[in-house]
Chain A
């Protein structure tokens, strides 16, 4: 039979194999909260349009070449009595298939350049400016002008932005190169030490929580350098800013929370800041209104009492630190230090108190 002859043993193996592969794929193909194919901003929409254009064009070319190849394989397979035609080439054809691709590339190139120009435009006047500083392995988030008295509002690992208002994010790095990427909102741009980069200004189109992740390899815990972008309604965003700018109520004296606060001030404040308290460390993430955060540890765990206790007790169990002593402060390259484990300096009760204190500072 003709197809059987054509395929032969290896051909049948290939066909069955590819079928199994396709089935496996069909089973596994599902969506992701970090997908690039469900855009939720104007900028991501524009990328999506180009993405589909290029997929369609290259898919069509790929399919055409594969079909042509299959046809040639079938049509010109060795047959008894049929000799190959000694053709050396064909100038007309070769010129045609040089010019053809050039025309197709013009079709792709023009919208590409237009999009590049658009992506590097200046933000509009009423855009919300956010400055993100990447650290090994977390994100510092600053809102110039939104802090108390027109100062800077600082948080970490979670950006809040309002829906419907243009957001202009600038990127810096405190140590090595990182890359800021929230696939559903915007393409990635690197955070480079000594430079300030700018993401294309974007306007989010749907309220929700969007996942982002560092995309440039930045050392040991690169995989755990995640973050969230929370797109709020305008009202929610204003409430969040106001909440961040209001000093947290002091815990009742002698209470469990007060003991947590004092342990925190003694042990944590040289690295961490909490707005409205004496804790003003800048080495680690700012923990103001920590209770309002969705996650801890740069987006790697849900913000629950249990997780936070685990984190403080022995951070090295959940996040690798560079070689060095787990209890002594492991020094990172920029002279800064990784968070130590506290199970040998604090009692479990003290850790629980700190966790409770941090989680008590919420935004209503």
Chain B
């Protein structure tokens, strides 16, 4: 190691910021994902508030049309790729190894790489705000509006390249969690004993590894069109603009399930804890999740009912879409079954879980309405659809993720979140949510299209829009309360202990926060509810044995994931520079490409566990 220059010497036992920058610990990476996602949640929320101010009344001029278009494009892109997905990843990271009795994920450094690619990709895309060319073509980026001749600024390029970088990180995370869950389970942790959250993580990871390559192809072809003059989406060369829509939605619809399934898993873990009884129909709920994911690949064209596909294709996709309602309904009914006969404790995580069930169910029902194609020809591209997917993605995903935050915060920080502030948060968010998004159904019925930056006063939409805007600000207040609760509780919250909720799953068997090695001794699991004695209806906390820590070899911290992610992102950035200035772009591309290659090489030849750590620890004892 002496040959290394000082700054790149392997960090053996870093502290402070370096401990976070070089970490390969799944729990720290999970926290990084969570904090970053929350920061982007605020950014995406501000973008939403700007839109709501502009639309509060007819003919307002709060922002220009150009800015408004950037706001809705970046709001959608941010909330999907930089908030809900990484927030899900935060919990995958923190919880999955704990729930299956593993010391880390299968590939810890790959895990760090996933996070850094997500962070840098997000920054790259948002950097466009500083160059005045933020993406403005909608998060769906329909061809040919994205072609070089219709979108002349580099806005689309920022979107493609940011997404591409994030997508590589997401794919890596997908591989990592598939293998972690298949291959890193503790003895006795059979698939059908896994917590539902871990099950949904597995399913989502499969969705990622099969759906993300398709968007990768779609945006690569678009990049080639824009930068190298190929013809994939060029109508004048005979291309069909629907190619983009098919590719995009073959990815886009599984993506919807990537966003919602984690929250379904969260709720399936929370409900039993606060009903004090096992999940009703565990097998059915797991299978329903798998069926939803499978069918999710066969319904993409229901986003395209207005493109004129022909009667039989349209009918087939309508029927497939309706079919998805069946496993979804089964899940909802089984959640209600879980409450039946229970002893329900209305703690904050439970309130958000119940909020999830009710709001997600309403979103699902409006989703079935879209499958009725003639009705969809009215609803498509109106505020009815905006209402629908916010019920699913906010009322569903975000409520679920908020429930998860309240539920697992004690495990992550060792401190409880305030119940009273939490309940205020829930009340504000639930009311604000419904005030914002329920009236949008009416706006859709009254014919208000999406993505319009202004409307005429005589359209009869003004009053409803004002209500929506007020609701949006109520949500903003509730998020401020949430933030305050987290910051305050992290500092002065009640100490949590190992299992504050009396929950049944494995992560609650160890200290809060867990040791960096998670489990002192790898446990053997003998039941779906390792911490519950169901007959006696009591919680049996396992004894925490003393362990000689030196016998536990954990992966060592590493710089290379960070540097590789930097290299990859800068290569993407160099394409943007190249468009403005060829030489500068090529120079930057070569330099950052070299950085990436060196990082890969050093990564490959770096042992997962640095020998000094083991030796040092041995010498210590």
B343 with A86: CB separation less than 8 A: no
Cβ–Cβ < 8 Å partners of B238 in chain A: 194
Q: Complex Cα distance A62/B452, Å?
A: 30
Cβ–Cβ < 8 Å partners of A76 in chain B: 275, 339-344
Which of A10, A84, A101, A217 is within 8 Å of B145, CB to CB?
A217
A175 with B150: CB separation less than 8 A: yes
Q: Complex Cα distance A17/B439, Å?
A: 14
A10 with B424: CB separation less than 8 A: yes
A35 sits at the interface (CB 8 A): yes
Which of B193-201, B324-332, B594-602 faces chain A?
B324-332
A325 sits at the interface (CB 8 A): no
Cβ–Cβ < 8 Å partners of A177 in chain B: 142, 144-145, 241
Which of A109, A176, A215 is within 8 Å of B449, CB to CB?
A215
Interchain nearest-CB distance for B253 vs A (Å): 18
Q: A86-B277, A87-B341, A89-B282 are in contact. Are A50 and B430 (CB under 8 A)?
A: no
Interchain nearest-CB distance for B520 vs A (Å): 30
A84 with B241: CB separation less than 8 A: no
Within 8 A of B (CB), among A18-67: 18, 20-21, 24-25, 27-37, 46-47, 50-51, 54-55, 58, 61-62, 65-66
A46 with B374: CB separation less than 8 A: yes
Report B346-387 CB contacts with A as 1/0, cut-off 8 Å. Answer: 100001001001100110011011011111111011100000
Cβ–Cβ < 8 Å partners of A189 in chain B: 306-308, 377
B453 sits at the interface (CB 8 A): yes
A217 with B351: CB separation less than 8 A: no
Within 8 A of A (CB), among B567-584: none
Cβ–Cβ < 8 Å partners of B284 in chain A: 89, 94
Which of A139-147, A154-162, A220-228 faces chain B?
A220-228
Cβ–Cβ < 8 Å partners of B453 in chain A: 223
Cβ–Cβ < 8 Å partners of B319 in chain A: 109, 113
A73 with B339: CB separation less than 8 A: yes
Interchain nearest-CB distance for A261 vs B (Å): 32
Cβ–Cβ < 8 Å partners of A190 in chain B: 306-308
A33 with B430: CB separation less than 8 A: no
Q: Complex Cα distance A73/B534, Å?
A: 22
A51 with B375: CB separation less than 8 A: yes
A148 sits at the interface (CB 8 A): no
Within 8 A of A (CB), among B141-164: 142, 144-145, 147, 149-153
Q: Across the two chains, which residue of chain B brings its CB closest to A21?
A: B435
Cβ–Cβ < 8 Å partners of A83 in chain B: 276, 343, 537
Cβ–Cβ < 8 Å partners of A55 in chain B: 369
B540 sits at the interface (CB 8 A): no
Q: A78-B345, A97-B330, A218-B145 are in contact. Are A32 and B361 (CB under 8 A)?
A: no
Q: Across the two chains, which residue of chain B brings its CB closest to A319?
A: B65
Cβ–Cβ < 8 Å partners of A255 in chain B: none
Cβ–Cβ < 8 Å partners of A79 in chain B: 343
A117 with B471: CB separation less than 8 A: no
A243 sits at the interface (CB 8 A): no
Cβ–Cβ < 8 Å partners of A9 in chain B: 420, 423-424, 427
Interchain nearest-CB distance for A208 vs B (Å): 15
Which of B171-179, B213-221, B309-317 faces chain A?
B309-317
A112 sits at the interface (CB 8 A): yes
Q: Across the two chains, which residue of chain B brings its CB closest to A187?
A: B377
Interchain nearest-CB distance for B503 vs A (Å): 14
A98 sits at the interface (CB 8 A): yes
A117 with B336: CB separation less than 8 A: no
B275 with A86: CB separation less than 8 A: no
Cβ–Cβ < 8 Å partners of B326 in chain A: 98, 101-102, 105
A58 with B424: CB separation less than 8 A: no
Q: A35-B446, A84-B342 are in contact. Are A47 and B306 (CB under 8 A)?
A: no
Which of A14, A98, A117 is within 8 Å of B430, CB to CB?
A14
Q: Complex Cα distance A27/B439, Å?
A: 12
Q: Complex Cα distance A219/B146, Å?
A: 10
Cβ–Cβ < 8 Å partners of A278 in chain B: none
A198 with B308: CB separation less than 8 A: yes
B460 sits at the interface (CB 8 A): yes
Interchain nearest-CB distance for A258 vs B (Å): 35
A88 with B278: CB separation less than 8 A: yes
A192 sits at the interface (CB 8 A): yes
B431 with A105: CB separation less than 8 A: no
Interchain nearest-CB distance for A39 vs B (Å): 10
B337 with A188: CB separation less than 8 A: no
Report A344-364 CB contacts with B as 1/0, cut-off 8 Å. Answer: 000000000000000000000
A29 with B65: CB separation less than 8 A: no
Highest count of chain B CB atoms <10 Å: which of A82, A217, A320: A217
Q: Complex Cα distance A249/B288, Å?
A: 72
B149 with A333: CB separation less than 8 A: yes
Cβ–Cβ < 8 Å partners of B377 in chain A: 47, 119, 186-189
Within 8 A of B (CB), among A314-358: 320, 322-323, 332-335
B336 with A65: CB separation less than 8 A: yes
Which of B314, B323, B445 is within 8 Å of A116, CB to CB?
B314
Q: Complex Cα distance A72/B358, Å?
A: 13
B426 with A21: CB separation less than 8 A: no
A28 with B66: CB separation less than 8 A: no
Cβ–Cβ < 8 Å partners of B11 in chain A: none
B461 sits at the interface (CB 8 A): yes
A320 with B459: CB separation less than 8 A: no
Which of B278, B281, B307, B449 is within 8 Å of A214, CB to CB?
B449
Q: A87-B278, A112-B373, A190-B306 are in contact. Are A105 and B365 (CB under 8 A)?
A: no
Q: Across the two chains, which residue of chain B brings its CB closest to A108?
A: B372
B333 sits at the interface (CB 8 A): yes
Cβ–Cβ < 8 Å partners of A119 in chain B: 311, 373-374, 377
Q: A69-B336, A113-B319 are in contact. Are A197 and B423 (CB under 8 A)?
A: no
Report B42-84 CB contacts with A as 1/0, cut-off 8 Å. Answer: 0000000000000000000000111001000000000000000
B553 sits at the interface (CB 8 A): no
Q: Complex Cα distance A27/B462, Å?
A: 11
Interchain nearest-CB distance for B299 vs A (Å): 14
Cβ–Cβ < 8 Å partners of B334 in chain A: 89, 94
- 15 further A-B contacts with Cβ under 8 Å, apart from A77-B344, A112-B318, are A17-B432, A32-B460, A36-B444, A50-B375, A58-B365, A86-B277, A86-B534, A90-B281, A105-B326, A116-B311, A119-B377, A176-B142, A193-B241, A216-B142, A216-B306
8 contacts between A and B (CB under 8 A): A20-B435, A21-B471, A84-B341, A186-B377, A187-B377, A190-B307, A217-B138, A222-B452
Residue positions of B touching A, CB distance < 8 A: 64-66, 69, 137-138, 142, 144-145, 147, 149-153, 235, 238-242, 275-278, 280-284, 306-308, 310-311, 314-315, 318-319, 322-323, 325-326, 329-330, 332-334, 336-337, 339-346, 351, 354, 357-358, 361-362, 365-366, 368-369, 371-378, 380-382, 420, 423-424, 426-428, 430-432, 434-435, 438-439, 442, 444-456, 458-464, 466-467, 470-471, 474, 534-535, 537
Instruction: In the A-B complex, list the 6 residue pairs whose CB atoms are closest, starting with the nearest.
Output: A187-B377, A17-B431, A28-B463, A34-B447, A333-B150, A223-B452
